[in-house]
Each structure stands twice: as structure tokens, then as C-alpha cells.
Amino acid sequence: MDLSATLSRGLLSAALLSLLLVSSADAGEPLKPVGKPPTPRFNTLYDTDAVGRLLEAYAKAYPRWLRLSTIGQSSEGRPIWLLTLTNPESGPELQKPAMYVDANTHANEVQGTETTLYLIDFLLTRYGKLERVTELLDRAVFYFVPVVNPDGRSKWFSQPATPHFPRTVATPRDDDRDGLSDEDGYDDLDGNGVITRMRKKVALGEGRFRLDPKDPRIMVRVKPGEQGDYTFLGWEGIDNDGDGRINEDPLGYVDPNRTFGYDFQPRYVQGGASDYPLQIPETRAIAKWALTKPNLAAAQSFHNAGRMILRGPGSKHVPEYPREDIGVYDLISKEGERLLPGYKAMVIWKDLYRAHATTVDHLYMIHGAITFTNELYRAPTDLDGDGHPKPEERMKFNDLLTLGRQFVPWKKVKHPQYGEVEVGGYRHDVGRVPEGWLLESECHRNAAFVLFHARQLPKLSIAEVKVRAQGSGLWRIDVAVANERGIPSVTAIARQNKLHRQDLALIKGGKVVASGIVRDLDLDRIDLQRHRPERLEVPGVKGLGRQRLFFLVAGEGEVELRYESLKAGVLTRRVELKEPESRKEFK
Amino acid sequence: MPSARPSLSLAIAGSLAFLAAPLGAQEAPQRVRPPSVAEATQELERLSKAHESASLIQFGRSAGKVPLLLLRIGEPGALALDERPAVFVGANIAGSRPLGAAAALDLARSLLEAPAAERAQRSALLQRVCFYVAPVLNPDAHDANLGPGRWGRRGNAERVDADRDGLLDEDGPEDLDGDGQITQLRIPDPAGAWIPDPRRPDLSVRAEASLGEKGRFRLETEGRDQDGDGRFNEDAADGVQPDRNFAHAFPYPAREAGPWASSTPEAKALMDFLLARRQVALAVVYGEANVLLELPAAGPVPKGQAANRFQADDRASLERLATRYRRALKARELPTKRPAQAIAGGSLAAWLYYHYGAQTLELDLWAPPGKPEAPKSAETSKPAKLDLPGLRKLSAAELLEQASAHDALLERIGAPDTLGSRASAAGLEGGQLTPNQLADRLAPYLAFSKTKAGKARARARGTADWWAQQGVAAVTSFRPLALAELPGASVGGALPLADQFPPKAQGEAAIAAHSAWVLELASRLGRVEVRSLTLTPLGAEVYRVEVVVGNGGQLATHTALAALAKVRLPIRIELGLKGGVLVTGRPWAAHERLGGSAKVFKHTWLVRASAGQTLEVEVRATSEHAGRDSATATSEER
């Protein structure tokens, strides 16, 4: 594909479309859905099939604005949905800066999907009503993958699960290295549809726990000098394969968020890694798709839990991000801390844990997109506000606020290996996922954070063009390109590692004798480009900054100035080769 | 780059299926010409049709949609083909090593079409071991490196904007002088870093400050700056290099390596094929590196990443192999003291060892020795060797008499002829130059000849001389180029990839040596064997069952790295009982790894015979990649 030809074709159609747009009565008006659009409630969770029905219904109601497509299939054959949302009449998709949002990479970290649905709904229903929404859909494009791991989501909803399981994709894995895969997972011993914990009363001195005398549902770890008579036996399950171990080879385990393409490490270094990067179809679909979107400039990947706004690097063994880009990350995440009460802006390796080959590092280090992972939700069970949610506070939350919904009371069952045990504990949708009455506000705040993030997508304009005659048909043209938002048109990492083409400033219609980047206008310090002056390579326009360009052009009449940015679209300006009326404009 | 293919008169089936390329020069020696993709495919098809024990498998397609093929070779034996230990031999994933294809096909023929005397032995091997032989793993680049227009392309047919200027594949090498070959381009430039080698002006070297040299030109691959960006040949139509597209030490952010490891269809298809066949114990890559001539270093790695370091035990095993390998090369009069490349980050070989867990040998098959052959005849009398201290002690007259020793000294230390016997004769005779002064001028050359750069110069000269000795014009002299945009430029220098077209005798010897080497390694693969199974009565019908499992081969069952990184399943033993029950414990055990033939592991069980019954015990030992074995014992035998 000849990129420049595509761009110029795109430019032409953009110009035509913008003409149409001016005459269109609908520009900036609220969207009129076809038929009845879905009106989901955001105080509940949707299983994979329900999510699919909602997405189809939205796409059907807003056919030109919201496009539903499939970028791949999970290992069990479920579609990986992609939604593209933008004003179809305000220019070609690839000439708009793009914000990518995905969710539910980990099977059990489900509510990012509802947050994404909320965001889609909000954008579609607020366009033409709220200026900040209208502006974004006119000048930017949103891409959504609401369920990265549809097999995992389905299993978390439909099969006995815990708050932490399944986290994996469905690709089988021989965790215990006995030649069989996924043959010894959890078992729902009491048949109540969820996996809870197992405890057993043992002889005094053989246990490390005792029952809380005030509430025997709670197990208390014995202190030094005390004896215990209860022991935890892990999650509900038996020794299915007769190897003397319990639950040691459950479904999976490839952790999809350890399979990406930057800083991939083998399983010995990084638990949950695949055999090679992007081996699993789910994350490979995203990585391959991302290669087709040179406009990708910002991204969010929703996870849970803990209330964090995370950025990479995931490991201290890879270089820290360039300082200039950290400034951009800080601009967005510090505001995010204010929009999202209780959330902390953190660096993954430094403040959380070591994580190789994650979405955030992949999209930033390979595509140069400013990328966050929000860890949604932290259970508000610290009732006395001392910073330490205690088991009895958690139980009070269960008893008084959820009227006992969360905790499954202990119940005696026969276990083939352990004999009589008790099974009970918190349900799988407790701890990482909010109760319905807390979900909508969390969805809204995080959607608002994405919109603030997207608002920082580079927004370029040609702010200044000054022409000065140099005699004998030679003209000096000084240009200033401005970026009125926070994300640069070329991130520092993209510049440093040559991840993609830089911006280009082109002059057509005259002979460009010299061109360069102006470092200091007053002192006339210009870095001249030695070759191809008519095709000036520009290291981008910084966030909230300006880039000044210099051209020396031989010609007459007018020339066309074009500024092409992969991440920030195309600008054009006709420049008349004549002195302005007053020369006082120039120093 | 269009690949001009020399005309091929016929393919010789059943013997070495490559021909000597006619070079045109008078008495040009016969040289090996590696097979093209089509010829290799034809040969694979022929072998698979001619032999029941060979089947052709297509495991993917290149970026240019060329089928990726390999031959599976094995005869019916005790274990099914996909259960027995396997050897993978893959050639030219690098693209720039087409000679590997000739070697891989030779190996296939050695396995399938051995001379009658060796057939029984080969058959025995093929009943025990399964071979996967892939002659061309990077077909998109392979053919481009066969014709005279070759320039060492490594990338596949993907389209990459290598210089990130928004244009695709717009500036590659070109044959500017119309001689059909891509050599080198000298562009006069006062800021250039290069000069002709002081002794061999057709070679180019970086100007060396300690010798007072000043750069005169910049050196590029033959071709213009087609896109006018000031750089030459920086964005050729050469896509992504599959041999840099693997995940161990992936060379991010190098454009030629691709955006992420596994992005190329060649790398992904091969990994998927091999990961589905974990019984591959030994992998041989005919590529750019030679791990037996340039052993891997155990460099430092971050904490927690010990499995990213070459393991000491594996290195020791390589050292033992290297000794045998050098001996095998020497026996066929092939050079062993030559420079070789180490395994590179992002390469197939690195992935095979570090992530896949196979014992891996990347071998570069052949390279010319770095110096010309010494004359063999005893009659040529060696001139007395002259060194610098010796030179200082001479009088001018004495030095004039030792002209040949004087010039030999120059040759040794790389000094130009302007300091040689002829050039200094007048000065020495007239007294303007003393031997001591001459020695002072030569001293910097002596010092430089001991540095890395000095040795590289000597090696390049030596290699060029060696080729000349063979009658091969591997280096052409520079000729001025009449191109307005490059005034004063000249074209010439070393022809690329000369070492992929070795003189026939050397090339055939190298290929034969490597086929024999792979066969030898395959016959030494580790394999589990139950060495003993004993029942010891402890009274009251209780027995101790003791099994000793050992390695029946000479190589380890798998590498220390594979064991550390747990990328291979452990050796597993399972107990079967008839007429008895296990008193305690589990009827299985696992052992991570068995080193060489001396290594064993033991396991004991406590078993109780059922009342009045004979206890029958069977122990089965299985390994993913080292076969399986079993033994039985009964209480009756006691």
C-alpha cells in the first residue's frame, strides 16, 4: 500500500465531506436512533451472550455511527467483538486520533465490560447535547473491545467460580506437568453453584485457626502461644486425578495479560505466560488489529480490583518511559485521582508487582499510545474508616447492607480425601465486583476518566503562517502548528524508538530550497533538514505546545502547505506568496 | 530485487542435487550451488514419493505465500513416530544461508538413500528416532540470495517502512555498473570513514588514527539513494527477518525484527509445528551462527531470570561436543580455526534452546579460512623471518639483501608497500633512510595488527587471498561509475555471500561432515531405560519395590535449562500392581532430568501382596522426548 497516496485520497474525501457537513442540518444535533435503542440498566452484570445482544442492538440502532465487527475468535470459537464509534461525516476514520478501550482480559475481572457499555451508551446518547461529547465524536474515533476473553467471561458467569477464578483463557495447560491438561480443577461439593472455601475441625494443636467466639462464621488465625483447632483446606475441590494433590490443574492457565509482544518472558520468569508472545487467539487478534490502526494514540484496558490507575513499565528490567511522556501520563492520571475517589495513580513494577508482556506496555512501547489500566473497585467494607477493612466489618457489610447475600454459610459435606469438612464463604461476585447499587457510579466515573483521557488526544491546527519575500521570487515561510491538548502528535517513545513515521510537513506548488525545525525563533536557530526539504520530517507537536517550521520556497502565486500526522490527522492551508500589508508583523 | 537464476541443465536425482555454477572465468573452479526453493521442493517431493518412510508435510506459508515444507522421516518401530525421540533439522531461516538447504537435503538422502553397507545401521536409527528435515525455512529470501544479483537479503515478503519515512520499500540495492552483481559503492567524501586497505586496494577499511590514515570515501552497498533522504539502500523490499522474530532476547525496537516476536508467518508456523511435537530432543539449525565454534557466553541476567542464562551444564556438554565436532571437520580437511558468529537474540536457535527446551546446535556449515593455504611442497624454502627488533639491528646494506623478508614483514603487519623493499631501496642506499627509521615507521602497523580491527583487516586480506588461490574472483577491483548523481564514485569489492558457494571439494566435504555429525548425534540421544526392578521381601507379604531408571543414550535426556525452566515434562514412572496393593504413597513418581549415560534415579514403593496371590509388578518409565521403557518382576522369582 502506498501510504502517501492513501493519505491524499483520504484528504480529498475529507475535504468533500467537510463541505457536505457544513450544509448538513444534522451536524452537531443529537443522534436519531433507528428503531428503539437498548436501554440497559447499569446496576447489574451481563453475561457474554447478553453483552453480545446489547452490542448488536446498539449497532442496529446507530448503524452509521457505531460499527460492530469481529477481529478474531476465542479458542472456543466465540467472537472477539470490536466496535468503532465516530461521526461518519467528519472525515475518514484513520485521519482521526483514536482512543482504544478494552475490558475483561481476565475472565473474573468482569465489570470493565459494563463500564465500556456505559461509555458507548453515554457517547451515543449525549452527542449533540453535551459539547464535550460532540467535539470528541467529531474529531476522534473510539475503538472498543468490551470482552477480550469471552470464553473466560462465559465460564465465570455460568460455571462454579470464585472471585479469582477463572482468570485464564480457555486454552488448556498442563499445570502439574503430568501429561494431562486441566484434569484437576475445583469442584462444587455442596452443589450451590459457586466455589467457596473448605475448612475442617482438627485436633487442638493441629490447626492454625480457631473460630471467632463472637461470630463462628469467621476464622481467626491463632497468635503465638495459642493453639488452633481449625484449618483451611483451600477452595472447594477434590483430588480428581489421584495424584495426592487437590485443585492443582484447573482450567487454563494462560494469563492473557502476560502474553503480549513487548518484554515477553517465558513461564519460568513470568507465571501465566504462553509459549510465545501472542500465541493465544484473543490477544493475537488485538495485536494484529492494532497494527492496522496507525492513528492509535490513547488506550485504556479495564481490570479489577483495587482502585488504581496503572501505567507501565511492568518490570524494572526494561527502561523507564521517557520523561516527556511521563509528563503526559501524570497530567491524565493525576486528574484521574480526583475524578475517581480512592484511586491511586501507580507504576506497575514500582507500586504493584512485576508483570511482563502486558497490554499497557504493548500498546505504549510498540504503538506509542498513552495507555492506562484502571483496576476498578475496592470493596467499601472499612466501616470504621481506620484504613483496615477487618473480617468482622466485612461480615457486617454482608449482614446489614446486602442482607446476607454475599456470604454462603458454612455447611458440612463429605470429602473423599478429607472426610467431613465444612464448605462456605463469600460468593464469587464479592470483593472484586461492586454490588449493583454501587456499580453505576463506578461505571460513570471511569467512563468520565476515559473521556478526559480521550479529550487529551492531540488536536492540531495551523496557528500561524508568515510569508516574507527574500527577493528574486524566493520566499521564507514560517509556520506554527499548535496542539491544544495534552497528548503529543508523536510520543517521545515513538520518536526515540522510531516506532512509526514522524509527522510530515509538505509544500506543494513551489520549489522548496530548504526547510527545517525552528528551535528558537528570536535567535533564528533552525535545524535544517539536509535532504528532501519539500518533505520535512517533524518530530511531532508536543502536548499543549507548538512546533515551528521553516521553509525557503522559490515560486509565485500560492503553494499548498500540508501537515500530515499519523496520530493527529491531516491539515492543509493555501499560502499566498506575497508580503502582508504591514511588515511590522515581522520583527 | 529480481532474482536472476543461473540456468540449470538438470537435477541429478539421488546424488547431490546441486550443480557447479559456471563462472565464465578461465578454469573457474567448480562451486557448490545451493538448490532454489523449487529445486528443494522437487527433491522433497521425490524423496517422499520414493520412500515409504518419508512424508512431506506443509506446515505453513511464508509471507510471500510460498509453502513451508518439511520431510518427516522414520521407519516403523517400537514407538509410533510421534511418540519417539525426534530430531529437527531446519535450514536457512536466516535467508542469507542458502547452503543450508543443500546440507538439509543431503541429510535427508543420507537417511533414506544410504549406500548398501550403511543401510542396516540407518534403518535401525530410523526405527528409534523420528527426523523432521526442513531445507528452506525462509523461502522469500532464499531464492534472492542464489542469483548473481544477491546482496544478502534476510527479510521475507512483508512490506515494512524500514526508515519510517512513510514510503514502502523505496530504496534498496541496485546493480549500478550493470555487471549483474551487487557489490560495494565508494562515494568520495572528505568526511567519509573509509579508505582502501593499504595492502589490498580492492578491500575497504575504516581509516585508523594510530596509522595516520584519513578517511576518503563513504562505503555503501551498491545502489543509489533512490528516495533522496541522504541514506543508501536503507529501505529495501526485504520485510521482516524471520530469524530475528523469535521471543528470546527479541531485539526490540529493531525494524527488521518485526513489531513483536511471532509476527511473521514463518516464525509462528514453525513454533506451532514444534510445540505440537515436544518429543523433539535435538534441533539443528543451519544458519548464520556456529555454536560449536563460538560457544555461548553465560552472561549476567536480572534476578529471577536464571532461565534466560545459558546453563553451565549445557555449556559443558557443548564443549564436549565441540571437541568432537572440530575433530570431525579436521578429518575432512575443513577449517576449524575460523571466526564464527554467536547465536543472536531473536533467532530461531535462541528460541529453540531457551523457550522450547531442545538441545540446540546452530551451525554455519562452512566458511573460508581466514588466511591462504601454506604451500605444501617442502621444496619452497622459507625466508628467514624478520621482526622489528631484528630489523633495527641490521645495517642498510644487510636490509637491502633481505628484501623478501622485509616484504614478508609488511605482509604480516599490514603495512603498505610504500614502506617495502622496493620503495625504500633508494633511501637505504643513499643513507636518507636507516633501518631504525624504517622500523619506527613500521611500529604503529605492528601495534595495530594486534588489535581487533587490525586482525579483522588481516583476516579480510587472508580470505581474499584464499579465494584467489582457489581461482575464484571473490573480490573485484573498484571501477569508476559514470553516474551524474554520484561523481567520482566507484563500484567493486567483495561479492556478497561467497561462502554460500564454496569450492566443490570443500563444500561437499562440509555438507558430508555435517550430515554425518547429525547422524552421530541422533544415535547418541538420551533415552530412558529401566535398569533394574527388584522386590525385596520385608516379611508378612510386604515387599519393597525398588526401581533404577537410567539414561540409555550418551546425551542428556534434555537440557539443564529445560529442566530449570520446566518447559519439558519430567521423566515419569508409574507402578502397575497385580495381586497386591500399595501400602502407602502414590503409584507414580517423577524425576526432572537425566544427564548423560552415567545418570540414574531410584524410587522405592512399599507393596503388600494379597493373601495367597503372586505379586506382579510392572514399572513403566516414560519421557516426552526420550522414549519409554518398562520392566516387570514377580514375587515368584525370588
H/E run at residue A73: strand A66-73
**What part of B 215-274 touches A (C-beta under 8 Å)?**
225, 227-230, 246-248, 250, 252-253, 255, 259-263, 268, 271
In chain B, the residue whose alpha carbon lies closest to the alpha carbon of A501 is: B164
pLDDT of residue A9: 47
Partners of residue A269 in chain B, C-beta under 8 Å: 304-305, 307-308
Contacts of B147 (CB under 8 A, 6+ apart): B3, B4, B5, B6
| Cell digits of residue B359 | 538441545
Test A277 with B261 for CB contact under 8 angstroms: yes
Partners of residue A2 in chain B, C-beta under 8 Å: 167-168
Q: How far apart are CA B253 and CA B426, in angstroms?
A: 58
Residues A263 and A275 in one domain: yes
Residues A240 and A302 in one domain: no
Partners of residue A504 in chain B, C-beta under 8 Å: 166
Give me the phi and psi of B494, to 5 degrees please. Answer: -70, 140
**What part of A 42-81 touches B (C-beta under 8 Å)?**
none
Q: Name the residue type at position B638.
A: R
Query: Is residue A14 situated within a structural domain?
Result: no
- Three-state DSSP state, B584: strand
Give me the phi and psi of B474, to 5 degrees please. Answer: -85, -15
Which CA distances in Å does A412 have to A219, A417, B541? 16, 14, 40
Print the SS3 string covering B469-482.
HCCCCCEEEEEECC
Structural domain range at position A541: 460-585
Query: Is residue A188 situated within a structural domain?
Result: yes
Beta bridge partners of A527: A517
Query: Is residue A161 situated within a structural domain?
Result: no
Query: Is residue A199 situated within a structural domain?
Result: yes
Peptide bond into B562 cis (omega under 30): no
Residues A421 and A438 in one domain: no
**What DSSP letter does each residue of B340-396 carry, written as one string?**
-BPPPTT-HHHHIIIII--EEEEE------SSPPPP--TTSPPPPP--HHHHHHS-H
User: From edge to edge, which strands make up the β-sheet containing B475-480?
Assistant: B204-206, B194-196, B217-221, B184-188, B490-494, B475-480
Beta bridge partners of A230: A201, A209
The CA-CA-CA angle for residues B178, B181, B183, to 5°, reads 110
Is the minimum CB–CB distance between A528 and chain B shorter than 8 Å?
no
Residues A151 and A212 in one domain: no
pTM to 2 decimal places: 0.94
Higher pLDDT, A582 or A556: A556
Partners of residue B624 in chain A, C-beta under 8 Å: 179
Test A266 with B565 for CB contact under 8 angstroms: yes
| Cell digits of residue A268 | 519460568
Q: What is the pLDDT of residues A99-110, one digit of tens each?
A: 999 999 999 999
In chain A, the residue whose alpha carbon lies closest to the alpha carbon of B226 is: A532
Query: Is residue A499 situated within a structural domain?
Result: yes
Contacts of B437 (CB under 8 A, 6+ apart): none
Domain containing A572 — which CATH number?
Answer: 2.60.40
What's the domain count of chain A? 3
Is the minimum CB–CB distance between A244 and chain B shorter than 8 Å?
yes
Q: What is the pLDDT of residues B311-337, one digit of tens each?
A: 999 999 999 999 999 999 999 999 999
Q: How far apart are CA A237 and CA A352, in angstroms?
A: 30
Is the minimum CB–CB distance between A1 and chain B shorter than 8 Å?
yes
Q: How many other C-beta atoms are found inside a 10 Å radius of the C-beta of residue A531?
A: 12
Q: Which of B253, B271, B306 sits opposite A276 (nearest CB)?
A: B271
Which CA distances in Å does A419 have to A199, A410, B9, B452? 11, 16, 81, 73
Test B260 with A3 for CB contact under 8 angstroms: no
Give the distance from residue A339's alpha carbon to the nearest chain B alpha carbon, in angstroms. Answer: 35
pLDDT of residue B637: 62
Q: Which of A179, A260, A279 sits opposite B569 (nearest CB)?
A: A179
Do A103 and A300 touch, CB atoms closer than 8 A? no
pLDDT of residue A203: 97
In chain B, the residue whose alpha carbon lies closest to the alpha carbon of A278 is: B262
Do A287 and B260 touch, CB atoms closer than 8 A? yes
Residues A234 and A340 in one domain: no
Test A276 with B247 for CB contact under 8 angstroms: yes
Give the distance from residue B436's alpha carbon to the nearest chain A alpha carbon, in angstroms. Answer: 50
| Cell digits of residue B190 | 572528505
**What part of A 346-385 touches B (C-beta under 8 Å)?**
354, 362, 365-366
Q: Suggest the residue from A177, A249, A288, A293 to mutate for an interface test with chain B (most B CBs closer than 10 A).
A: A177
Test A269 with B354 for CB contact under 8 angstroms: no
Contacts of A200 (CB under 8 A, 6+ apart): A230, A231, A233, A418, A419, A420, A421, A422
Nearest CA-CA partner of A169 in A285, A53, A308: A285
What's CA A534's distance to the chain center, in Å?
A: 38
Give the distance from residue A410's alpha carbon to the nearest chain B alpha carbon, in angstroms. Answer: 32
Task: Tell me which residue has cell 481449625.
Answer: A230
Residues A441 and A334 in one domain: yes
Give the distance from residue B565's alpha carbon to the nearest chain A alpha carbon, in angstroms. Answer: 5
Q: How far apart are CA B353 and CA B347, in angstroms?
A: 10
Residues A497 and A556 in one domain: yes
Test B305 with A174 for CB contact under 8 angstroms: no
Q: What is the pLDDT of residues B529-542, one digit of tens each?
A: 999 999 999 999 99
Q: How far apart are CA B284 and CA B296, in angstroms?
A: 15
In chain B, the residue whose alpha carbon lies closest to the alpha carbon of A264 is: B247
Q: What is the pLDDT of residues A127-151, one digit of tens each?
A: 999 999 999 999 999 999 999 999 9
**With b meaning 16 or more CB within 10 Å and e meaning fewer, what string describes A269-286?**
bbebbbbbbbbbbbbbbb
Domain containing A276 — which CATH number?
Answer: 3.40.630.10
Q: Which of A275, A278, A502 sits opposite B260 (nearest CB)?
A: A278
Do A351 and A314 touch, CB atoms closer than 8 A? no
Residues A442 and A564 in one domain: no
Residues A88 and A213 in one domain: no
Q: How many other C-beta atoms are found inside a 10 Å radius of the C-beta of residue B298?
A: 12
**What part of A 278-337 touches B (C-beta under 8 Å)?**
278-279, 287, 291, 317
- What mean pLDDT, rounded, does chain A reach? 94
Query: Is residue A98 situated within a structural domain?
Result: yes
Is the minimum CB–CB distance between A534 and chain B shorter than 8 Å?
no
**What part of A 210-239 touches B (C-beta under 8 Å)?**
none
Helix and strand numbers, DSSP H then E, in chain A: 11, 23
Query: Is residue A170 situated within a structural domain?
Result: no
Is the minimum CB–CB distance between A178 and chain B shorter than 8 Å?
yes
Residues A527 and A505 in one domain: yes
Contacts of A301 (CB under 8 A, 6+ apart): A101, A102, A103, A105, A112, A257, A359, A360, A363, A371, A372, A373
Peptide bond into B253 cis (omega under 30): yes
| Cell digits of residue B270 | 514453525
In chain B, the residue whose alpha carbon lies closest to the alpha carbon of A498 is: B164
Test B228 with A532 for CB contact under 8 angstroms: yes
Q: What is the pLDDT of residues A162-206, one digit of tens each?
A: 999 999 999 999 999 999 999 999 999 999 999 999 999 999 999
Do A446 and A372 touch, CB atoms closer than 8 A? no
Q: Suggest the residue from A75, A174, A262, A276 to mutate for an interface test with chain B (most B CBs closer than 10 A).
A: A276
The CA-CA-CA angle for residues A39, A45, A48, to 5°, reads 90
For the residues A453-463, what does the mean pLDDT come to? 98
Partners of residue B347 in chain A, C-beta under 8 Å: none
List of domains in chain B? 37-153+239-366+502-523 (3.40.630.10), 184-236+451-498 (no CATH), 528-637 (2.60.40.10)
**Given a cut of 70, is residue A400 above it in pLDDT?**
yes
Counting one residue from chain A and one from chain B, the pairs whose CB atoms sit within 8 A come to 120
Q: How far apart are CA B362 and CA B368, in angstroms?
A: 18
Test B304 with A504 for CB contact under 8 angstroms: no
Test B307 with A266 for CB contact under 8 angstroms: yes
Partners of residue B167 in chain A, C-beta under 8 Å: 2-4
Residues A146 and A280 in one domain: yes
Q: How far apart are CA A208 and CA A226, in angstroms?
A: 9
Q: Which of A2, A265, A498 sits opposite B168 (nearest CB)?
A: A2
Q: How far apart are CA B427 and CA B396, in angstroms?
A: 9
Is the minimum CB–CB distance between B280 and chain A shorter than 8 Å?
no
Q: Which of B351, B586, B624 sits opposite A243 (nearest CB)?
A: B586
pLDDT of residue A166: 97
Partners of residue B570 in chain A, C-beta under 8 Å: 177
Nearest CA-CA partner of B99 in B32, B43, B53: B32
Do A499 and B253 touch, CB atoms closer than 8 A? yes
Contacts of B569 (CB under 8 A, 6+ apart): A174, A177, A178, A179, B278, B623, B624
Give the distance from residue A499's alpha carbon to the nearest chain B alpha carbon, in angstroms. Answer: 7
In chain B, the residue whose alpha carbon lies closest to the alpha carbon of A274 is: B355
Give the distance from residue B229's alpha carbon to the nearest chain A alpha carbon, in angstroms. Answer: 5
Regions in chain B scoring below 50 on pLDDT: 1-26
Q: Suggest the residue from B260, B356, B592 to mutate for an interface test with chain A (most A CBs closer than 10 A).
A: B260
Give me the phi and psi of A511, to 5 degrees please. Answer: -90, 115
**What part of B 355-384 touches A (C-beta under 8 Å)?**
355-356
Test B263 with A261 for CB contact under 8 angstroms: yes
User: From edge to edge, which strands make up the β-sheet containing B542-551?
Assistant: B528-539, B542-551, B600-609, B580-584
Q: Which of A268, A277, A530 sits opposite B260 (nearest CB)?
A: A277
Residues A307 and A365 in one domain: yes
- Three-state DSSP state, B282: strand
Which CA distances in Å does B634 have to A408, B251, B572, B621? 53, 58, 22, 18
| Cell digits of residue A529 | 533538514
Test A498 with B259 for CB contact under 8 angstroms: no
